[in-house]
Copies of this chain bind each other. A is one copy, B any other.
Amino acid sequence: MKRAAAILGIGTDHVYEVDPDESGRVSAEKMEEKILYCQELGFSVFFVGITAGTTVYGAFDPIEDIAIICRKYKIWLHVDGAWGGSALLSPKTKHLLQGIDKADSFTWNPHKLMSIHLQCSAILIRHTNILMQANQMCAGYLFQPDKHYETSLDTGDKTIQCGRHIDILKLWLGWKARGHQGYAEHIETLLEKANFFYEIISKREPCFRMVIKPPFINVCFWYVPPSLQNIDQTSLEYNERLDKIAPRIKERMMTNGTMMVGYQRLDHHPNFFRAIISNPATTKDDIIAMIDEIHELGHDL
């Protein structure tokens, strides 16, 4: 969001963040407070961006509640569903995006959760023709209006880039191959694997510790080697030492060539692993092997 503001000339100082709760969600109350705060500072608040499936936790902001606030203050509501938007594909998970029909715009990346190759990103906008109004420059040397067919189908003048690879074809083919039912099962299978992963981690305490209970399919956890298990978890020493564990284990993973699992800090938490199973062919044995390997690579640290 800050990078977009920098590029658009709005400036990063004019992006105001709303603190999420412990589960990574932004509440409608906090959103309204921040809007009022910005208005008191004398700013016109015109855009609110929330997330359906945050990068690290996979948390979903409450779209319906925030949409009501945005309509009250006449603010454009954008939902970044790049990661979690595909939860709409299963009747069992689509409640996570309750209220998405009230958003003004919605980002959704089929290349993330729908097994479509990079890159395939969609932006859906409620307001007909607004991309044309915002982007068109009517360059007569590029776009001819005097064609014998419907020129509204020409997309070049609606987009930022003019020439683009036809990324949507991959999605169309994927959807033809799997169908609605196939994609619903795809999402549900991934969710089952995340739940299984979570159960195993919980059973492996104290060597493994969850960061939060997974809101979706992101499994965020620490590996706690025996040398740290008797140290007070609230101490500075514990946090400083735990922060170094995930990078060391990842280095060993890469050196050994066994696997790769990303790690990061977030909020006040030291570095932790974020494991996401997006390949439905992954078995329960694979997940157990992955957890065993982390223990194998990290228990002497």
The docked-state distance in angstroms from the alpha carbon of A55 to that of B142 is 8
The 10 closest A-B pairs by CB, nearest first: A9-B9, A148-B251, A119-B165, A118-B165, A146-B247, A141-B264, A56-B141, A3-B137, A2-B137, A140-B265
What's the tally of chain A residues with a CB closer than 8 Å to chain B?
41
Contact residue among B3, B254, B266 (Cβ-Cβ distance under 8 Å from A141) = B266
Instruction: Contact check, A3 vs B119: say whether CB atoms are below 8 A apart.
Output: no
Q: Which residue of chain B has the shortest Cβ distance to A54 in the bound complex?
A: B141
Contact residue among B117, B118, B254 (Cβ-Cβ distance under 8 Å from A148) = B254
The docked-state distance in angstroms from the alpha carbon of A9 to that of B264 is 33
A7 at the interface (CB under 8 A from B): yes
Give chain B residues whose Cβ lies under 8 Å from the Cβ of A255: 148
Given contacts A8-B7, A9-B8, contact A141 B55 (CB under 8 A): yes
Instruction: Contact check, B3 vs A147: say whether CB atoms are below 8 A apart.
Output: no
Q: Which residue of chain B has the shortest Cβ distance to A262 in the bound complex?
A: B144
When each residue 165-189 of chain A gets 1 if its CB lies under 8 Å from chain B and 0 otherwise, what string results?
1100000000000000000000000
